[in-house]
Chains A and B, each alone.
Chain A
Amino acid sequence: MTATRTELVPFDAALETYDPAMGLEVHVELNTASKMFCGCSTVFGAEPNTQVCPTCLGLPGALPVVNGKAVESAIRIGLALNCSIAPWSRFARKNYFYPDMPKNFQTSQYDEPIAYDGWTEVTVETDEGPRVFRIDIERAHMEEDTGKSLHVGGSTGRIHGADHSLVDYNRAGIPLIEVVTKPILGAGKYAPLVARAYVASLRELVKALDVSDARMEQGSMRCDVNLSLAPSGSDVLGTRSETKNVNSLRSVERAVRYEVERHAGILDAGQKVVQETRHWHEDTGVTTSGREKSDAEDYRYFPEPDLVPVAPSDAWVEELRATLPEPPAERRARLQAEWGYSDLEMRDVVGAGAIDLIEATISAGATPTAARKWWLGDLARRANDTATPIDELGVTPTQVAEVQALVDAKRINDKLARQVFDGLVAGEGTPEEIVAARGLEVVSDDGALAAAVDRAIEANPDVADKIRDGKVAAAGALIGAVMKDMRGQADAGRVRELIIEKLS
Protein backbone atom coordinates (compact mmCIF):
# COMPACT_ATOMS: atom_id res chain seq x y z
CA MET A 1 0.00 0.00 0.00
CA THR A 2 2.42 2.68 1.18
CA ALA A 3 6.01 2.98 0.09
CA THR A 4 8.53 0.96 2.03
CA ARG A 5 10.43 2.89 4.65
CA THR A 6 13.34 4.88 3.31
CA GLU A 7 16.29 6.52 5.06
CA LEU A 8 16.23 10.19 5.96
CA VAL A 9 18.51 12.40 3.88
CA PRO A 10 20.46 14.91 6.01
CA PHE A 11 18.86 18.36 5.73
CA ASP A 12 21.78 20.12 4.01
CA ALA A 13 22.15 17.33 1.45
CA ALA A 14 18.39 17.35 0.77
CA LEU A 15 18.57 21.07 0.02
CA GLU A 16 21.22 20.46 -2.66
CA THR A 17 18.69 18.52 -4.72
CA TYR A 18 15.26 19.85 -3.73
CA ASP A 19 13.36 23.05 -3.01
CA PRO A 20 10.82 22.86 -0.18
CA ALA A 21 7.34 24.37 -0.51
CA MET A 22 5.39 24.93 2.70
CA GLY A 23 1.83 25.71 3.56
CA LEU A 24 0.95 26.62 7.13
CA GLU A 25 -2.52 26.37 8.62
CA VAL A 26 -2.81 27.96 12.01
CA HIS A 27 -5.88 27.64 14.21
CA VAL A 28 -6.31 30.47 16.68
CA GLU A 29 -8.84 30.05 19.47
CA LEU A 30 -10.47 33.41 20.16
CA ASN A 31 -10.65 34.75 23.71
CA THR A 32 -14.35 35.54 23.64
CA ALA A 33 -16.23 34.90 26.88
CA SER A 34 -18.82 32.72 25.15
CA LYS A 35 -18.76 30.19 22.32
CA MET A 36 -19.16 30.87 18.60
CA PHE A 37 -22.84 29.95 18.29
CA CYS A 38 -24.14 29.68 21.87
CA GLY A 39 -23.72 31.30 25.27
CA CYS A 40 -21.61 28.56 26.87
CA SER A 41 -18.45 29.66 28.68
CA THR A 42 -15.05 29.19 27.05
CA VAL A 43 -12.94 29.11 30.23
CA PHE A 44 -10.06 26.64 29.90
CA GLY A 45 -9.69 23.70 32.27
CA ALA A 46 -13.26 23.28 33.58
CA GLU A 47 -14.65 19.90 34.65
CA PRO A 48 -15.75 17.82 31.61
CA ASN A 49 -19.11 18.62 30.02
CA THR A 50 -19.90 21.52 32.33
CA GLN A 51 -19.81 24.14 29.56
CA VAL A 52 -22.35 22.66 27.15
CA CYS A 53 -25.90 23.35 25.99
CA PRO A 54 -28.35 21.97 23.40
CA THR A 55 -26.73 24.06 20.63
CA CYS A 56 -23.11 22.95 21.07
CA LEU A 57 -24.26 19.38 21.74
CA GLY A 58 -26.22 19.44 18.49
CA LEU A 59 -29.49 18.44 20.12
CA PRO A 60 -32.56 18.49 17.88
CA GLY A 61 -34.28 21.85 17.56
CA ALA A 62 -31.39 23.93 18.89
CA LEU A 63 -30.57 27.00 16.79
CA PRO A 64 -27.11 28.60 16.62
CA VAL A 65 -26.64 32.40 16.62
CA VAL A 66 -23.30 33.96 15.69
CA ASN A 67 -21.22 35.66 18.39
CA GLY A 68 -20.74 39.22 17.09
CA LYS A 69 -17.49 39.72 18.99
CA ALA A 70 -16.00 36.66 17.25
CA VAL A 71 -16.85 38.12 13.84
CA GLU A 72 -15.26 41.40 14.92
CA SER A 73 -12.09 39.53 15.97
CA ALA A 74 -12.04 37.61 12.68
CA ILE A 75 -12.25 40.84 10.69
CA ARG A 76 -9.53 42.48 12.77
CA ILE A 77 -7.20 39.49 12.25
CA GLY A 78 -7.95 39.64 8.52
CA LEU A 79 -7.20 43.37 8.38
CA ALA A 80 -3.98 42.97 10.37
CA LEU A 81 -2.88 40.40 7.79
CA ASN A 82 -3.61 42.86 4.97
CA CYS A 83 -6.53 40.75 3.74
CA SER A 84 -9.59 41.84 1.80
CA ILE A 85 -12.75 41.47 3.89
CA ALA A 86 -15.60 39.72 2.11
CA PRO A 87 -18.69 41.95 1.85
CA TRP A 88 -20.79 38.77 1.90
CA SER A 89 -19.71 35.62 3.65
CA ARG A 90 -21.53 32.48 4.70
CA PHE A 91 -20.96 29.61 7.06
CA ALA A 92 -20.91 26.06 5.72
CA ARG A 93 -21.37 22.62 7.16
CA LYS A 94 -18.33 20.38 6.97
CA ASN A 95 -19.84 16.93 7.27
CA TYR A 96 -17.99 14.13 8.97
CA PHE A 97 -18.63 11.45 11.52
CA TYR A 98 -15.98 11.67 14.20
CA PRO A 99 -17.41 11.86 17.70
CA ASP A 100 -15.46 15.07 18.46
CA MET A 101 -18.38 16.94 16.82
CA PRO A 102 -21.71 15.77 18.19
CA LYS A 103 -23.65 17.37 15.30
CA ASN A 104 -21.91 15.16 12.70
CA PHE A 105 -20.70 18.35 11.08
CA GLN A 106 -18.45 21.23 12.00
CA THR A 107 -19.73 24.72 11.27
CA SER A 108 -16.98 26.33 9.23
CA GLN A 109 -16.60 28.44 6.11
CA TYR A 110 -15.88 27.00 2.70
CA ASP A 111 -15.84 29.06 -0.49
CA GLU A 112 -16.78 32.36 1.17
CA PRO A 113 -14.23 33.03 3.91
CA ILE A 114 -14.56 36.28 5.85
CA ALA A 115 -11.00 37.37 4.90
CA TYR A 116 -8.84 36.50 1.90
CA ASP A 117 -5.77 37.49 -0.16
CA GLY A 118 -3.51 39.00 2.47
CA TRP A 119 0.17 39.03 3.28
CA THR A 120 2.60 39.51 6.11
CA GLU A 121 6.36 39.70 6.43
CA VAL A 122 8.81 37.93 8.69
CA THR A 123 12.50 38.58 9.26
CA VAL A 124 14.89 35.67 9.52
CA GLU A 125 18.58 35.72 10.35
CA THR A 126 20.48 34.33 7.34
CA ASP A 127 24.16 33.85 6.52
CA GLU A 128 23.99 37.24 4.80
CA GLY A 129 22.31 38.97 7.77
CA PRO A 130 18.62 39.59 8.44
CA ARG A 131 16.37 38.89 5.43
CA VAL A 132 12.68 39.68 5.02
CA PHE A 133 10.40 36.92 3.68
CA ARG A 134 6.94 37.75 2.45
CA ILE A 135 4.22 35.25 3.37
CA ASP A 136 1.07 35.41 1.26
CA ILE A 137 -2.16 34.63 3.08
CA GLU A 138 -4.75 32.63 1.21
CA ARG A 139 -7.61 33.11 3.65
CA ALA A 140 -8.69 33.49 7.24
CA HIS A 141 -12.02 31.90 8.04
CA MET A 142 -14.29 31.40 11.02
CA GLU A 143 -15.17 28.03 12.45
CA GLU A 144 -15.78 26.25 15.74
CA ASP A 145 -13.45 24.09 17.75
CA THR A 146 -14.17 20.40 18.32
CA GLY A 147 -14.59 18.43 21.54
CA LYS A 148 -11.71 16.66 23.19
CA SER A 149 -11.40 12.87 22.98
CA LEU A 150 -9.60 10.76 25.50
CA HIS A 151 -8.74 7.31 24.20
CA VAL A 152 -8.93 4.56 26.80
CA GLY A 153 -8.42 0.83 26.97
CA GLY A 154 -5.27 0.87 24.88
CA SER A 155 -1.80 -0.16 25.89
CA THR A 156 0.39 1.66 23.40
CA GLY A 157 -0.70 5.24 23.31
CA ARG A 158 -3.34 7.15 21.51
CA ILE A 159 -3.59 5.21 18.26
CA HIS A 160 -3.11 1.53 18.75
CA GLY A 161 -5.16 -0.66 20.99
CA ALA A 162 -7.52 1.95 22.46
CA ASP A 163 -10.97 0.42 22.39
CA HIS A 164 -13.15 3.42 23.08
CA SER A 165 -13.11 7.17 23.39
CA LEU A 166 -14.37 9.48 26.11
CA VAL A 167 -15.52 12.84 24.84
CA ASP A 168 -15.71 16.17 26.62
CA TYR A 169 -17.59 18.86 24.67
CA ASN A 170 -16.50 21.90 26.68
CA ARG A 171 -14.23 22.90 23.80
CA ALA A 172 -16.81 22.13 21.10
CA GLY A 173 -18.05 25.40 19.67
CA ILE A 174 -15.27 27.70 20.91
CA PRO A 175 -14.60 30.21 18.11
CA LEU A 176 -11.59 29.47 15.95
CA ILE A 177 -9.98 31.45 13.19
CA GLU A 178 -8.05 29.34 10.73
CA VAL A 179 -5.35 31.28 8.90
CA VAL A 180 -4.08 29.54 5.77
CA THR A 181 -1.01 30.63 3.82
CA LYS A 182 -0.45 30.30 0.12
CA PRO A 183 2.47 27.99 -0.73
CA ILE A 184 5.64 29.50 0.71
CA LEU A 185 8.32 29.06 -1.95
CA GLY A 186 11.94 30.05 -2.22
CA ALA A 187 12.84 29.86 1.46
CA GLY A 188 15.34 27.06 0.71
CA LYS A 189 17.40 26.10 3.72
CA TYR A 190 15.70 28.80 5.76
CA ALA A 191 12.29 27.10 5.40
CA PRO A 192 12.25 25.78 9.00
CA LEU A 193 13.18 29.23 10.36
CA VAL A 194 10.67 31.01 8.13
CA ALA A 195 7.90 28.67 9.30
CA ARG A 196 8.82 29.30 12.91
CA ALA A 197 9.10 33.06 12.43
CA TYR A 198 5.70 33.16 10.72
CA VAL A 199 3.94 31.30 13.53
CA ALA A 200 5.75 33.48 16.09
CA SER A 201 4.66 36.64 14.29
CA LEU A 202 1.08 35.42 14.04
CA ARG A 203 1.11 34.73 17.76
CA GLU A 204 2.52 38.18 18.45
CA LEU A 205 -0.11 39.70 16.18
CA VAL A 206 -3.17 38.06 17.76
CA LYS A 207 -1.84 38.96 21.20
CA ALA A 208 -1.34 42.58 20.13
CA LEU A 209 -4.92 42.54 18.78
CA ASP A 210 -6.02 41.06 22.11
CA VAL A 211 -8.20 38.49 20.33
CA SER A 212 -6.52 35.32 21.64
CA ASP A 213 -4.30 34.09 24.46
CA ALA A 214 -2.42 32.17 21.77
CA ARG A 215 -1.04 29.70 24.29
CA MET A 216 0.39 26.95 22.15
CA GLU A 217 1.00 24.70 25.17
CA GLN A 218 -2.72 24.86 26.06
CA GLY A 219 -3.78 24.31 22.47
CA SER A 220 -5.33 27.74 21.99
CA MET A 221 -3.04 28.12 18.98
CA ARG A 222 -2.26 25.06 16.84
CA CYS A 223 -0.32 24.67 13.65
CA ASP A 224 -0.58 22.21 10.76
CA VAL A 225 2.49 22.04 8.55
CA ASN A 226 2.08 21.08 4.90
CA LEU A 227 5.29 20.32 3.10
CA SER A 228 6.38 19.13 -0.31
CA LEU A 229 9.65 18.99 -2.20
CA ALA A 230 10.28 19.67 -5.86
CA PRO A 231 13.55 19.17 -7.76
CA SER A 232 15.59 22.40 -7.53
CA GLY A 233 14.58 24.86 -10.21
CA SER A 234 11.33 23.08 -11.04
CA ASP A 235 8.15 25.13 -10.82
CA VAL A 236 5.90 22.11 -10.26
CA LEU A 237 4.89 21.39 -6.68
CA GLY A 238 5.53 17.91 -5.30
CA THR A 239 3.08 15.75 -3.34
CA ARG A 240 2.57 17.13 0.12
CA SER A 241 2.24 15.68 3.58
CA GLU A 242 0.09 17.38 6.23
CA THR A 243 1.55 17.21 9.71
CA LYS A 244 -1.14 17.98 12.27
CA ASN A 245 -1.03 19.63 15.67
CA VAL A 246 2.49 20.94 15.83
CA ASN A 247 2.15 22.83 19.04
CA SER A 248 5.28 24.81 19.85
CA LEU A 249 7.46 27.19 17.88
CA ARG A 250 10.42 24.87 18.24
CA SER A 251 8.34 21.95 16.97
CA VAL A 252 7.23 23.92 13.90
CA GLU A 253 10.88 24.38 12.99
CA ARG A 254 11.75 20.75 13.72
CA ALA A 255 8.73 19.32 11.90
CA VAL A 256 9.59 21.20 8.70
CA ARG A 257 13.17 20.00 8.95
CA TYR A 258 12.14 16.41 9.57
CA GLU A 259 9.65 16.31 6.70
CA VAL A 260 12.28 17.74 4.31
CA GLU A 261 14.63 14.93 5.32
CA ARG A 262 11.91 12.28 5.04
CA HIS A 263 10.57 13.44 1.66
CA ALA A 264 14.10 13.63 0.25
CA GLY A 265 14.70 10.03 1.37
CA ILE A 266 11.57 8.83 -0.42
CA LEU A 267 12.31 10.78 -3.60
CA ASP A 268 16.00 9.77 -3.67
CA ALA A 269 14.90 6.13 -3.44
CA GLY A 270 12.78 6.66 -6.54
CA GLN A 271 9.52 6.27 -4.62
CA LYS A 272 6.43 8.42 -4.44
CA VAL A 273 5.43 10.57 -1.48
CA VAL A 274 1.98 9.55 -0.26
CA GLN A 275 -0.46 12.38 0.30
CA GLU A 276 -1.48 11.78 3.88
CA THR A 277 -2.01 13.23 7.31
CA ARG A 278 0.92 12.74 9.66
CA HIS A 279 1.25 13.00 13.43
CA TRP A 280 4.07 14.97 15.05
CA HIS A 281 5.79 13.42 18.06
CA GLU A 282 7.24 16.11 20.25
CA ASP A 283 9.34 13.67 22.32
CA THR A 284 11.14 11.89 19.47
CA GLY A 285 11.02 14.68 16.89
CA VAL A 286 9.57 12.50 14.13
CA THR A 287 6.29 12.30 12.24
CA THR A 288 4.34 9.10 11.71
CA SER A 289 1.68 8.22 9.20
CA GLY A 290 -1.88 9.10 10.15
CA ARG A 291 -4.54 8.40 7.59
CA GLU A 292 -4.32 8.49 3.85
CA LYS A 293 -6.50 10.90 1.94
CA SER A 294 -9.67 8.97 1.28
CA ASP A 295 -13.44 9.20 1.13
CA ALA A 296 -13.39 10.38 4.70
CA GLU A 297 -11.95 13.67 3.42
CA ASP A 298 -14.98 14.26 1.20
CA TYR A 299 -16.73 16.66 3.52
CA ARG A 300 -19.71 17.52 1.26
CA TYR A 301 -19.70 21.16 2.32
CA PHE A 302 -22.93 23.05 1.87
CA PRO A 303 -24.18 26.44 3.13
CA GLU A 304 -25.33 26.35 6.75
CA PRO A 305 -29.11 26.94 6.58
CA ASP A 306 -29.42 27.79 10.29
CA LEU A 307 -27.12 30.84 10.14
CA VAL A 308 -27.73 33.95 8.09
CA PRO A 309 -24.87 35.44 6.07
CA VAL A 310 -22.33 37.84 7.54
CA ALA A 311 -22.25 41.00 5.44
CA PRO A 312 -19.89 43.54 7.02
CA SER A 313 -20.51 47.06 5.78
CA ASP A 314 -17.59 49.21 4.66
CA ALA A 315 -18.28 51.51 7.60
CA TRP A 316 -17.99 48.65 10.10
CA VAL A 317 -14.79 47.35 8.49
CA GLU A 318 -13.24 50.83 8.58
CA GLU A 319 -14.30 51.27 12.19
CA LEU A 320 -12.50 48.01 13.02
CA ARG A 321 -9.46 48.98 10.96
CA ALA A 322 -9.13 52.08 13.13
CA THR A 323 -8.80 49.85 16.21
CA LEU A 324 -5.77 47.97 14.88
CA PRO A 325 -2.64 48.39 16.98
CA GLU A 326 0.63 49.37 15.40
CA PRO A 327 1.96 46.27 13.58
CA PRO A 328 4.53 44.53 15.82
CA ALA A 329 7.40 44.81 13.31
CA GLU A 330 6.79 48.55 12.81
CA ARG A 331 6.55 49.08 16.54
CA ARG A 332 9.88 47.31 17.08
CA ALA A 333 11.55 49.46 14.43
CA ARG A 334 10.09 52.65 15.92
CA LEU A 335 11.13 51.77 19.47
CA GLN A 336 14.62 50.75 18.39
CA ALA A 337 15.09 54.16 16.74
CA GLU A 338 13.65 55.99 19.75
CA TRP A 339 15.79 54.10 22.22
CA GLY A 340 18.97 54.18 20.13
CA TYR A 341 19.63 50.44 20.49
CA SER A 342 21.85 48.59 18.04
CA ASP A 343 20.33 45.74 15.96
CA LEU A 344 22.02 43.24 18.23
CA GLU A 345 20.76 44.95 21.39
CA MET A 346 17.23 45.11 20.02
CA ARG A 347 17.33 41.46 19.03
CA ASP A 348 18.35 40.51 22.56
CA VAL A 349 15.54 42.63 23.99
CA VAL A 350 12.97 40.94 21.73
CA GLY A 351 14.46 37.52 22.43
CA ALA A 352 14.18 38.08 26.17
CA GLY A 353 10.52 39.08 25.78
CA ALA A 354 11.36 42.38 27.47
CA ILE A 355 10.13 44.92 24.94
CA ASP A 356 6.94 45.87 26.82
CA LEU A 357 8.78 45.89 30.16
CA ILE A 358 11.50 48.20 28.85
CA GLU A 359 8.95 50.50 27.25
CA ALA A 360 7.09 50.77 30.57
CA THR A 361 10.32 51.29 32.51
CA ILE A 362 11.29 54.14 30.22
CA SER A 363 7.89 55.79 30.55
CA ALA A 364 8.33 55.48 34.33
CA GLY A 365 11.41 57.70 34.03
CA ALA A 366 14.46 55.49 33.38
CA THR A 367 16.79 56.05 30.43
CA PRO A 368 16.73 53.44 27.62
CA THR A 369 20.27 52.40 28.58
CA ALA A 370 19.41 51.91 32.24
CA ALA A 371 16.17 50.06 31.44
CA ARG A 372 18.00 47.67 29.14
CA LYS A 373 20.85 47.19 31.61
CA TRP A 374 18.55 45.91 34.36
CA TRP A 375 16.08 43.90 32.30
CA LEU A 376 18.69 42.15 30.15
CA GLY A 377 21.25 41.90 32.93
CA ASP A 378 20.34 41.08 36.49
CA LEU A 379 16.62 40.49 35.89
CA ALA A 380 17.03 38.30 32.79
CA ARG A 381 19.56 36.23 34.74
CA ARG A 382 17.10 35.77 37.62
CA ALA A 383 14.34 34.76 35.18
CA ASN A 384 16.68 32.29 33.55
CA ASP A 385 18.03 30.84 36.80
CA THR A 386 14.57 30.27 38.23
CA ALA A 387 12.88 29.34 34.91
CA THR A 388 10.35 32.12 35.53
CA PRO A 389 8.89 34.24 32.72
CA ILE A 390 10.60 37.62 32.99
CA ASP A 391 7.28 39.42 33.41
CA GLU A 392 6.38 37.19 36.35
CA LEU A 393 9.49 37.81 38.47
CA GLY A 394 7.61 40.08 40.85
CA VAL A 395 9.56 43.15 39.76
CA THR A 396 7.57 45.83 37.93
CA PRO A 397 8.84 48.39 35.39
CA THR A 398 7.95 51.18 37.82
CA GLN A 399 10.08 49.57 40.53
CA VAL A 400 13.01 49.22 38.13
CA ALA A 401 12.73 52.93 37.34
CA GLU A 402 12.65 53.67 41.09
CA VAL A 403 15.76 51.59 41.72
CA GLN A 404 17.56 53.41 38.91
CA ALA A 405 16.47 56.76 40.38
CA LEU A 406 18.10 55.72 43.68
CA VAL A 407 21.29 54.88 41.77
CA ASP A 408 21.19 58.21 39.93
CA ALA A 409 20.78 60.02 43.25
CA LYS A 410 23.90 58.14 44.41
CA ARG A 411 21.94 56.75 47.36
CA ILE A 412 22.77 53.20 46.25
CA ASN A 413 25.16 51.79 43.68
CA ASP A 414 24.61 49.07 41.07
CA LYS A 415 25.82 46.37 43.41
CA LEU A 416 23.43 47.42 46.17
CA ALA A 417 20.66 47.70 43.56
CA ARG A 418 20.92 43.94 43.08
CA GLN A 419 20.12 43.51 46.75
CA VAL A 420 17.11 45.77 46.29
CA PHE A 421 15.95 43.41 43.51
CA ASP A 422 16.44 40.49 45.93
CA GLY A 423 14.07 42.29 48.26
CA LEU A 424 11.56 43.03 45.50
CA VAL A 425 11.47 39.41 44.38
CA ALA A 426 10.99 38.39 48.02
CA GLY A 427 8.07 40.83 48.31
CA GLU A 428 9.70 43.03 50.96
CA GLY A 429 7.98 46.23 49.82
CA THR A 430 8.94 49.21 47.70
CA PRO A 431 12.56 49.96 46.75
CA GLU A 432 12.64 52.79 49.34
CA GLU A 433 11.35 50.46 52.05
CA ILE A 434 13.85 47.76 51.13
CA VAL A 435 16.78 50.19 51.18
CA ALA A 436 15.69 51.35 54.63
CA ALA A 437 14.89 47.90 56.05
CA ARG A 438 18.06 46.29 54.73
CA GLY A 439 20.23 49.32 55.55
CA LEU A 440 21.53 49.49 52.00
CA GLU A 441 22.03 53.20 51.60
CA VAL A 442 25.58 54.18 50.71
CA VAL A 443 27.56 56.10 53.29
CA SER A 444 27.57 59.72 52.18
CA ASP A 445 29.10 60.89 55.43
CA ASP A 446 32.48 62.15 54.19
CA GLY A 447 33.95 61.74 57.67
CA ALA A 448 33.35 58.01 57.69
CA LEU A 449 34.52 57.70 54.07
CA ALA A 450 37.67 59.74 54.76
CA ALA A 451 38.53 57.51 57.69
CA ALA A 452 38.15 54.44 55.50
CA VAL A 453 40.32 56.04 52.81
CA ASP A 454 43.01 56.77 55.42
CA ARG A 455 42.93 53.16 56.55
CA ALA A 456 43.30 51.95 52.94
CA ILE A 457 46.26 54.26 52.28
CA GLU A 458 47.96 53.10 55.45
CA ALA A 459 47.45 49.44 54.56
CA ASN A 460 48.76 49.89 50.98
CA PRO A 461 51.71 52.29 51.16
CA ASP A 462 53.24 51.12 47.86
CA VAL A 463 49.99 51.77 45.96
CA ALA A 464 49.70 55.17 47.62
CA ASP A 465 53.24 56.02 46.48
CA LYS A 466 52.38 55.21 42.86
CA ILE A 467 49.39 57.53 42.99
CA ARG A 468 51.54 60.27 44.52
CA ASP A 469 53.91 59.74 41.54
CA GLY A 470 50.98 60.49 39.22
CA LYS A 471 49.92 56.93 38.36
CA VAL A 472 46.23 57.66 38.94
CA ALA A 473 45.21 54.32 37.39
CA ALA A 474 46.51 52.60 40.53
CA ALA A 475 43.67 54.21 42.52
CA GLY A 476 41.47 51.22 41.60
CA ALA A 477 43.19 49.01 44.16
CA LEU A 478 42.54 51.55 46.94
CA ILE A 479 38.92 52.08 45.85
CA GLY A 480 38.45 48.32 46.06
CA ALA A 481 39.89 48.25 49.57
CA VAL A 482 37.65 51.12 50.72
CA MET A 483 34.54 49.52 49.18
CA LYS A 484 35.35 46.31 50.97
CA ASP A 485 35.86 48.18 54.23
CA MET A 486 32.47 49.90 53.75
CA ARG A 487 30.83 46.59 52.82
CA GLY A 488 29.93 47.95 49.39
CA GLN A 489 27.88 50.81 50.79
CA ALA A 490 29.87 53.68 49.34
CA ASP A 491 29.76 55.70 46.17
CA ALA A 492 32.87 54.58 44.29
CA GLY A 493 33.10 57.93 42.44
CA ARG A 494 33.21 59.88 45.72
CA VAL A 495 35.80 57.45 47.15
CA ARG A 496 37.99 58.03 44.15
CA GLU A 497 37.76 61.80 44.56
CA LEU A 498 38.78 61.53 48.21
CA ILE A 499 41.77 59.32 47.38
CA ILE A 500 43.04 61.70 44.70
CA GLU A 501 42.54 64.71 47.00
CA LYS A 502 44.54 63.10 49.78
CA LEU A 503 47.40 61.89 47.59
CA SER A 504 48.01 64.87 45.34
Chain B
Amino acid sequence: MSDGISRADVAHLANLARIDLSDAELDRLTPELTVILESVAQVAAIASADVPPTSHAVPLSNVFREDVVTPGLTPEQALAGAPAVEQQRFAVPRILGEDA
Protein backbone atom coordinates (compact mmCIF):
# COMPACT_ATOMS: atom_id res chain seq x y z
CA MET B 1 0.00 0.00 0.00
CA SER B 2 2.85 2.38 0.78
CA ASP B 3 4.01 1.98 -2.80
CA GLY B 4 1.06 4.12 -3.81
CA ILE B 5 -1.25 3.38 -6.66
CA SER B 6 -0.36 3.07 -10.33
CA ARG B 7 -2.07 4.83 -13.19
CA ALA B 8 -3.22 1.38 -14.41
CA ASP B 9 -4.77 0.64 -10.99
CA VAL B 10 -6.75 3.86 -11.13
CA ALA B 11 -7.93 3.10 -14.66
CA HIS B 12 -8.97 -0.41 -13.56
CA LEU B 13 -10.94 0.86 -10.54
CA ALA B 14 -12.59 3.54 -12.63
CA ASN B 15 -13.68 0.89 -15.09
CA LEU B 16 -15.11 -1.29 -12.29
CA ALA B 17 -16.97 1.69 -10.86
CA ARG B 18 -18.26 2.66 -14.32
CA ILE B 19 -16.55 6.06 -14.14
CA ASP B 20 -15.28 7.33 -17.46
CA LEU B 21 -11.94 9.09 -16.84
CA SER B 22 -9.98 11.02 -19.46
CA ASP B 23 -6.19 10.72 -19.74
CA ALA B 24 -5.84 14.13 -18.12
CA GLU B 25 -8.00 13.04 -15.19
CA LEU B 26 -5.99 9.84 -14.75
CA ASP B 27 -2.79 11.92 -14.73
CA ARG B 28 -4.23 14.18 -12.03
CA LEU B 29 -5.97 11.52 -9.88
CA THR B 30 -3.11 9.02 -9.69
CA PRO B 31 -0.81 11.25 -7.57
CA GLU B 32 -3.78 12.57 -5.55
CA LEU B 33 -4.88 9.05 -4.63
CA THR B 34 -1.31 8.18 -3.79
CA VAL B 35 -1.25 11.02 -1.23
CA ILE B 36 -4.59 9.84 0.23
CA LEU B 37 -3.34 6.27 0.53
CA GLU B 38 -0.14 7.44 2.20
CA SER B 39 -2.21 9.31 4.77
CA VAL B 40 -4.26 6.19 5.47
CA ALA B 41 -1.06 4.19 5.76
CA GLN B 42 0.04 6.48 8.60
CA VAL B 43 -3.09 5.57 10.53
CA ALA B 44 -2.53 1.90 9.77
CA ALA B 45 0.99 2.18 11.15
CA ILE B 46 -0.31 3.48 14.50
CA ALA B 47 -3.02 0.81 14.86
CA SER B 48 -1.69 -2.26 16.65
CA ALA B 49 -3.10 -5.71 17.20
CA ASP B 50 -4.93 -4.64 20.36
CA VAL B 51 -7.01 -2.08 18.48
CA PRO B 52 -9.82 -3.77 16.58
CA PRO B 53 -10.54 -2.41 13.09
CA THR B 54 -13.48 -0.02 13.04
CA SER B 55 -16.10 0.01 10.34
CA HIS B 56 -18.78 1.97 12.15
CA ALA B 57 -18.82 5.33 13.87
CA VAL B 58 -21.05 4.08 16.70
CA PRO B 59 -20.16 1.14 18.96
CA LEU B 60 -23.43 -0.72 18.47
CA SER B 61 -24.23 -4.30 17.51
CA ASN B 62 -27.36 -6.46 17.23
CA VAL B 63 -29.80 -3.81 16.07
CA PHE B 64 -32.71 -5.83 14.73
CA ARG B 65 -36.24 -5.19 13.54
CA GLU B 66 -39.22 -7.40 14.25
CA ASP B 67 -40.25 -9.59 11.32
CA VAL B 68 -43.35 -7.53 10.60
CA VAL B 69 -44.66 -6.38 7.22
CA THR B 70 -44.97 -2.61 6.91
CA PRO B 71 -46.48 -0.67 4.02
CA GLY B 72 -44.11 0.27 1.21
CA LEU B 73 -44.62 2.17 -2.01
CA THR B 74 -47.39 1.76 -4.55
CA PRO B 75 -46.14 0.56 -7.95
CA GLU B 76 -46.90 4.04 -9.31
CA GLN B 77 -44.71 5.64 -6.66
CA ALA B 78 -41.99 3.02 -7.09
CA LEU B 79 -41.89 3.50 -10.86
CA ALA B 80 -42.21 7.29 -10.80
CA GLY B 81 -38.48 7.79 -11.15
CA ALA B 82 -37.85 4.97 -13.60
CA PRO B 83 -36.19 5.91 -16.91
CA ALA B 84 -38.81 3.81 -18.69
CA VAL B 85 -41.68 1.57 -17.61
CA GLU B 86 -43.17 -1.46 -19.30
CA GLN B 87 -45.58 -4.05 -17.85
CA GLN B 88 -45.34 -2.36 -14.43
CA ARG B 89 -41.61 -3.05 -14.47
CA PHE B 90 -38.46 -0.95 -14.72
CA ALA B 91 -37.31 -1.07 -18.36
CA VAL B 92 -33.53 -0.93 -18.63
CA PRO B 93 -30.91 -1.70 -21.29
CA ARG B 94 -30.00 -5.34 -21.22
CA ILE B 95 -26.56 -6.25 -19.93
CA LEU B 96 -24.61 -8.84 -21.86
CA GLY B 97 -24.24 -12.21 -20.17
CA GLU B 98 -26.68 -11.34 -17.44
CA ASP B 99 -28.40 -14.16 -15.60
CA ALA B 100 -32.15 -14.40 -15.56
User: Hey, which bits of chain A sit against chain B, CB under 8 A?
Assistant: 32-34, 38-41, 47-54, 56-57, 65-71, 88, 90, 95, 97-100, 102, 148-152, 158-159, 162-169, 244-245, 279, 290-291, 295, 298, 300, 303, 305, 308-312
Contact = CB atoms under 8 A, between A and B. Distances in A.
A40 B72 contact: yes
Nearest to B54: A303
Contact of A52 (B12, B65, B78, B98): B78
Contact of B55 (A90, A151, A162): A90
Contact of A67 (B12, B64, B100): B64
15 contacts: A39-B69, A39-B72, A47-B75, A48-B89, A49-B88, A50-B75, A52-B72, A52-B75, A67-B65, A291-B96, A298-B16, A300-B13, A308-B61, A309-B56, A310-B61
Nearest to B56: A308
B73 interface: yes
Interface in B68-94: 68-75, 78-79, 86-94
A33 B95 contact: no
B63 interface: yes
A97 B16 CA distance: 9
A52 B92 CA distance: 18
A164 B92 contact: yes
A309 B52 CA distance: 13
Contacts of A158: 100
Contacts of B69: 33-34, 39-41
Contacts of B61: 88, 308-311
Given A165-B93, A303-B55, A308-B61, A48 B66 contact: no
A39 B95 CA distance: 30
B49 to A, nearest CB: 16
Contacts of B15: 295
Contacts of B60: 308
Contacts of B92: 99, 164-167
Given A49-B78, A100-B98, 16 more contacts: A40-B69, A47-B88, A48-B75, A48-B88, A52-B73, A68-B67, A70-B67, A97-B18, A159-B97, A165-B94, A166-B92, A168-B90, A279-B99, A290-B99, A303-B55, A310-B61
A310 B89 contact: no
Given A57-B73, A309-B56, A39 B65 contact: yes
B65 A66 contact: yes
B93 A66 contact: no
Contact of B98 (A39, A67, A68, A98): A98
B99 A164 contact: no
Given A90-B55, A164-B94, A34 B67 contact: yes
